[in-house]
């Protein structure tokens, strides 16, 4: 497994966005940047540069939170110029950013080709036209496919961001979005459950009863098979769930939805539970021994030993033991049932 890339983020909340999507209020969940956008972005890059000089750990300069390629062109190229200056000096290893699929045409890609861009993340959110329409995204699934192809032609790494539980979404529609995403061959995928944030259109829909968000268990049920599909396709799930942010914990910011600081961990724990249960094939009773690589033991056991409780109470095993086995590699595991 490749070591995780270091990322030095610069947040540009809703900067460049042509309008506010139903679920969005990024000022509620990020501290943002104050003052002139170009000046603030350069200042943040300089702060990160000092971090790198102190730590000796270069990484990619990343721009998140808005629609980077929809910024006024002098602002976008001004930010890129400063980031490229620091890349040339070995401070950063490259540039990455997130943007809307409908803001990444060939003309924009031609401009970006003059800078040390390494990674582009497309905020697709869904590959369903009906969900995109209900979420007021302003584009169709084909534009996601076209933008992905543009990224691929330029040789940049491609990331796709998906959301589960948007208006009009269902478990089957979400999994079809995952299938269509896999067909585009991204280098990684991020999955976020839709949250109801104060100040968003979704908050109004939730208040009126027009929208019902996913609860935590439902969100896990939706995402686990999508995670499994990505694993089988060899595509990393770079993140599942929002990054922990103190702003999310402020009273009244998140009104509803599957908000959990360790959502990805919960998904992986359920994935292990489901996989082991399938391998058991209906067998129950007696004692169960599970051996796996040591780094997966926590996920197999689950938070507060919930998976152990499931095997003992739900599947009627009198005793369950989980042991780390350094000879097992990857996600291999061995089950043994005894009287």
Which pLDDT tens digits describe the chain residue by residue (339 residues)? Answer: 334 679 999 988 766 455 455 656 544 444 444 448 899 999 999 999 999 999 999 999 999 877 899 999 999 999 999 999 999 999 999 999 999 999 999 999 999 999 999 999 999 999 999 999 999 888 999 999 999 999 999 999 999 999 999 999 999 999 999 999 999 999 999 999 999 988 888 999 999 999 999 999 999 999 999 999 999 999 999 999 987 666 666 788 889 999 999 999 999 999 999 999 999 999 888 999 999 999 999 999 999 999 999 999 999 999 999 999 999 988 999 999 997
Do 190 and 328 share a domain, yes or no? no
Q: Residues 128, 156, 226, CA angle at the centre, nearest 5°?
A: 35
Q: What is the pTM of this model?
A: 0.89
Residues 305 and 233 in one domain: no
Q: What is the pLDDT of residue 294?
A: 96
Cα gap 317→193, rounded to integer Å: 33
Alpha helical stretches, state H, the chain:
37-55, 73-88, 106-112, 129-134, 141-154, 171-183, 201-208, 216-233, 263-280, 297-301, 306-309
127 and 186: one domain? Answer: yes
Tell me how many domains the chain contains.
Answer: 2
Same domain, 71 and 135: yes
94 and 229 in a single domain? The answer is yes
As to burial, measured by CB atoms within 10 angstroms (0-12 exposed, 13-18 middle, 19+ buried), residue 155 is exposed
**97 and 242 assigned to the same domain:** yes
Distance between CA atoms of residues 128 and 174, nearest Å: 8
How far apart, in whole angstroms, are the C-alpha atoms of residue 302 and residue 268? 9
Asked if 244 and 324 sit in the same domain, the reply is no
Last residue of a domain, one of 233, 261, 289: 261
Distance CA 75, CA 151 (A): 21
Tokens linked to 81: 């110029």
> Do residues 224 and 295 share a domain?
no
Q: Does the residue 11 lie in any domain?
A: yes
Q: Which residues of 246-258 are buried (b: 16+ CB within 10 A; e: fewer)?
A: eebeeeebbbbbb
| Helix (H/G/I), strand (E/B), else coil: 57 | coil
- 302 and 181 in a common domain: no
Domain contains 328:
yes
Report if residue 273 sits inside a domain. Answer: no
Residue 94 lies in a domain: yes
In a domain, 53, yes or no: yes
**What domain range is 112 assigned to?**
7-261
252 shares a domain with 208: yes
Buried b (16+ CB within 10 A) or exposed e, 95-120: bbbbbbbbbbeeebbeebeebbbbbb
Q: Which of 261, 293, 320 marks a domain boundary?
A: 261
Residue 119: inside a domain, yes or no?
Answer: yes
The number of beta carbons lying within 10 Å of the beta carbon of residue 162 is 23
Strands 59-64 and 7-11 turn out to be: parallel
Residue 31: the pLDDT is 43
Do 224 and 94 share a structural domain?
yes
List phi, psi (to 5°) of 164: -105, 130
Is position 274 within any domain?
Answer: no
181 and 65 belong to one structural domain = yes
Q: Could you tell me if residue 269 is inside a domain?
A: no
Give the CATH number of the domain where residue 136 resides: 3.20.20.70
């Amino acid at each position: 497994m490749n070591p995780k890339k270091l990322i030095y983020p610069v947040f540009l909340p809703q900067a460049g966005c042509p309008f506010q999507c139903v679920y969005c209020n990024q000022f509620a969940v990020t501290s943002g940047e104050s003052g002139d956008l170009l000046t603030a972005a350069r200042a943040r890059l300089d702060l990160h540069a000092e971090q790198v000089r102190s730590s000796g750990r270069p990484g990619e300069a990343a721009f998140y939170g808005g629609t980077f390629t929809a910024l006024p062109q002098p602002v976008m190229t001004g930010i890129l110029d400063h980031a490229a200056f620091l890349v040339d000096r070995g401070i950063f290893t490259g540039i990455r950013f997130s943007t809307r699929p409908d803001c990444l045409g060939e003309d924009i890609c031609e401009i970006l080709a003059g800078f040390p861009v390494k990674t582009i993340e497309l905020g697709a959110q869904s590959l369903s036209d009906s969900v995109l329409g209900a979420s007021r995204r302003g584009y169709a699934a084909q534009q996601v496919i076209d933008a992905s192809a543009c990224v691929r032609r330029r040789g940049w790494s491609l990331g796709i961001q998906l959301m589960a539980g948007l208006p009009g979404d269902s478990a089957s529609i979400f999994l079809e979005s995952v299938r269509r995403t896999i067909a585009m061959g991204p280098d990684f995928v991020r999955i976020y459950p839709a949250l109801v944030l104060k100040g968003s259109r979704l908050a109004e829909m939730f208040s009126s009863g027009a929208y019902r968000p996913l609860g935590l268990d439902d969100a896990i049920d939706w995402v686990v098979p999508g995670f499994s599909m990505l694993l089988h396709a060899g595509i990393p799930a770079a993140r599942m769930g929002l990054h922990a942010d103190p702003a999310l914990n402020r009273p009244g910011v998140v009104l509803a939805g599957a908000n959990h600081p360790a959502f990805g961990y919960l998904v992986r724990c359920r994935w292990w539970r489901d996989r082991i249960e399938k391998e058991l094939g209906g067998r129950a009773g007696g004692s169960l021994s599970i051996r796996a690589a040591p780094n997966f033991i926590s996920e197999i056991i689950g938070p507060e030993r919930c998976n152990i409780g499931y095997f003992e109470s739900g599947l009627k095993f009198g005793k369950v033991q989980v042991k780390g086995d350094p000879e097992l590699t990857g996600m291999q595991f061995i089950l043994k049932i005894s009287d």
